[in-house]
């Protein structure tokens, strides 16, 4: 809530204006009805015509001011709300972006969507229904009570107790009752949203495994729960508003009865009775919506904590990331006893990894699936931070380097690469500013893709085969021409011969560059300066191809197995 209020305070001017116009509207509406009550009584006594004329003119004035200020209040408060919401979305996104990798691992996308859309929407009630209306209510009510006191202290006290009843006692009673029965609609909304995304993402697989109906049924079940929850909430809030309205009306009757009694005892001039009753009827207009105040407050609290809990888990980055690296020169990479565990996992993915890759060297990382090869690359790209040990790029600690400077100076092919809906051209152009059509056509030839630049790429590159996707990703890095290459099994879906030809091209292009190649095959590694063999998060062996073969250790064994598999 603190953060929300901070964001809101940036709209200070509109907040003041909303309170101002709201108060004017509230006071003129009380005045309007009070005066009309007074006028009815006064007219009965046949006053001079000019008095009636003046009162009619005043009535018209109040009516116009009331309408105008109510309009202004709505206009300003909604303007403020939409500005606050857009600030909220932007500030949420800005926090989300740098932590995206961790967050995507932790939340399901449907849940995230529900928070970003739904919870933000819930927060629109905060300013409109929670923050400023009580201020307006109190100002209008207290001024009215003061005014009434001139005529009858008892009726003033009655109005005051009415305020306490409708503004405080009834709303908190309702809130207490509701808290016990209220289902958490926000969680249900997130569940529905999660189910929908799962269904859509997994549609084909669900269909193939004939689980579509089951999944649909479970979606409908959750949707029904959500809808009935909403219905209950709607009914409850309507019921509490009606209850409050009834209480307000009851007070007005008591005012009438008490006023009539005072008139008979002579304590009150009968001329003012109608006015007081009309005032009482009007002043509660502002109090009736207070019935839903606690519900909105509770909503706001939950929505803001759900929203901000996503981005506020990790506090304060350790060091200021101000250094830059590379700038078109290949740089060195060093890992010193790096330990890293994925958030929420028990076993470390890297368990004391030390490596030294001089600038311009060519390194292959091999090892069984799950041995931590991809994790090394993720750490080098500063997508995650090591728990212990140090990583140095260009002899600078990675913790002090701007991540953008790392990304700008590396050509990266990850195991899963994203392509955008559009054309081959669109997908290649993101490699670098100002690539020409010739350059793009040239790299397509180098990776042996027979595509034209205007060929279309569907969502998630559904229309490309695994190997084509990999080659397109390689083509993208070839365009970028950064001085350091981080390649995670870039050609695992290619046949051996194509792989070798593309790899030749790549090494030629990267002749002076630092290259880290995670490889699933053991062929063609003779050309690398060093081979790192990983096993269960640790470095099992390091050496050149010949050294490792001569040593007849783990690498040699793996190589033998590969050969026997290839031979059969
Ligand atoms: P490799 O690339 O060598 O096949 P990885 O580096 O991808 O292996 O994974 C190393 C270990 O870390 C594996 O046990 C894997 O299950 C785990 N792991 C990988 N990615 C994640 C992740 N995002 N969250 C949790 N655990 C992960
Ligand atoms: Mg991997």
> Mean pLDDT of residues grouped by 10 in the chain (568 residues)?
81 92 94 93 90 93 96 94 89 80 75 82 84 90 93 92 89 78 72 87 88 90 90 84 90 94 92 92 84 83 83 61 80 95 91 94 93 94 91 92 89 87 91 89 93 88 90 92 92 88 91 92 86 94 93 88 76
61 φψ region: left (φ > 0), alpha (ψ -120 to 50), beta (else): alpha
Pairing of strands 410-413, 422-423: unpaired
Which residue is closest in CA terms to ligand 1's atom 7? 374
Q: Which ligand minimizes its atom distance to the CA of 368?
A: 1
Task: Give the binding-site residues of ligand 1, using a 6 Å CB cut-off.
Answer: 105, 342, 345, 349, 367, 369-375
Per the document, the length of the chain is: 568
> Closest ligand 1 atom, CA of 105?
23
Q: At what angle do helices 170-181 and 293-311 cross, to 10 degrees?
A: 50
3-state SS, one letter per residue, for 120-168: HHHCHHHHHHHHCHHHHHHHHHHHHHHHHHCCCHHHHHHHHHHHHHHHH
CA 133/CA 167 separation, integer angstroms: 11
State phi, psi for 313 to the nearest 5 degrees.
-70, -45
> Closest ligand 1 atom, CA of 367?
3
For residue 367, the CA-to-ligand 1 centroid distance in Å is: 13
For ligand 1, pick from 103, 344, 372 the residue to mutate: most ligand atoms within 8 Å of CB. 372
- 410 closest CA partner among 529, 511, 327: 327
Give residues with Cβ within 8 angstroms of 474, minimum separation 6. Answer: 413, 447, 487, 490, 491, 502, 506
CA 337/CA 539 separation, integer angstroms: 10
Burial (CB count <10 Å: 0-12, 13-18, 19+), residue 270: middle
For residue 223, the CA-to-ligand 1 centroid distance in Å is: 35
pLDDT at 284: 87
For residue 504, the CA-to-ligand 1 centroid distance in Å is: 29
Q: At what angle do helices 293-311 and 2-9 cross, to 10 degrees?
A: 100
CA 332/CA 152 separation, integer angstroms: 87
């Amino acid at each position: 809530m603190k953060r929300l209020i901070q964001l809101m305070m940036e709209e200070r001017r509109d907040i003041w204006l909303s309170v101002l116009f709201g108060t004017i509207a509230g006071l003129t509406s009380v005045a309007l009805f009070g005066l009309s009550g007074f006028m009815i009584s006064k007219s009965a006594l046949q006053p001079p015509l000019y008095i009636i004329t003046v009162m009619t003119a005043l009535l018209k004035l109040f009516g116009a001011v009331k309408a105008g200020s109510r309009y202004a209040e709505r206009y300003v408060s909604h303007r403020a709300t939409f500005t606050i919401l857009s600030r909220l979305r932007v500030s949420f996104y800005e926090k989300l972006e740098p932590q995206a990798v961790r967050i995507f691992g932790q939340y399901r996308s449907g849940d995230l969507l529900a928070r970003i859309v739904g919870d933000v929407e819930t927060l629109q009630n905060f300013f409109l229904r929670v923050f400023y209306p009580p201020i307006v209510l109190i100002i209008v009510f207290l001024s009215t009570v003061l005014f009434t006191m001139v005529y009858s202290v008892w009726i003033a006290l009655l109005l005051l107790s009415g305020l306490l009843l409708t503004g405080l006692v009834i709303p908190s009673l309702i809130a207490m009752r509701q808290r016990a029965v209220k289902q958490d609609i926000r969680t249900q909304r997130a569940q529905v949203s999660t189910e929908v995304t799962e269904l859509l993402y997994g549609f084909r697989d669900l269909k193939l495994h004939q689980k579509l109906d089951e999944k649909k049924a479970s979606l409908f079940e959750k949707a029904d729960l959500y809808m009935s929850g909403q219905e209950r909430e709607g009914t409850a809030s309507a019921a509490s508003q009606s209850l409050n309205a009834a209480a307000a009306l009851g007070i007005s009757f008591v005012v009438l009865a008490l006023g009539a009694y005072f008139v008979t005892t002579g304590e009150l001039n009968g001329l003012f009775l109608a006015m007081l009753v009309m005032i009482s009827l009007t002043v509660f207009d502002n109090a009736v919506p207070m019935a839903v105040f606690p519900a909105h407050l509770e909503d706001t609290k939950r929505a803001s904590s759900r929203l901000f809990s996503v981005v506020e888990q990790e506090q304060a980055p350790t060091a200021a990331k101000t250094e830059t690296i590379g700038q078109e020169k290949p740089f060195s990479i060093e890992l010193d006893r790096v330990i890293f565990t994925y958030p929420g996992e028990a076993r470390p993915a890297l368990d004391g990894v030390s490596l030294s890759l001089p600038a311009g060297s060519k390194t292959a990382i091999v090892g069984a699936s799950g041995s931590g090869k991809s994790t090394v690359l993720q750490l080098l790209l500063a997508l995650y931070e090591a728990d212990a040990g140090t990583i140095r790029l260009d002899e600078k600690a990675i913790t002090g380097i701007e991540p953008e400077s790392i990304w700008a100076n590396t050509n990266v092919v990850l195991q899963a690469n994203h392509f955008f809906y559009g054309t081959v051209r669109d997908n290649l152009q993101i490699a670098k500013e100002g690539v020409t059509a010739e350059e793009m056509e040239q790299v397509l030839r180098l990776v042996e893709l027979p595509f034209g630049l205007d060929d279309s790429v569907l969502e998630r590159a559904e229309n490309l085969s695994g190997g084509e996707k990999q080659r397109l990703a390689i083509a993208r890095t070839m365009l970028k021409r950064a001085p350091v290459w981080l390649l995670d099994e870039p050609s695992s879906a290619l046949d051996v011969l194509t792989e070798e030809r593309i790899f030749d091209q790549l090494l030629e292009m990267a002749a002076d560059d630092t290259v880290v190649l995670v490889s699933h095959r053991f062929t063609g590694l003779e050309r690398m300066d060093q081979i790192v063999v990983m096993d269960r998060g640790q470095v099992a062996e390091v050496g050149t191809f010949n050294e490792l073969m001569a040593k007849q250790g783990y690498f040699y064994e793996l190589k033998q197995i590969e050969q026997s598999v290839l031979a059969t």
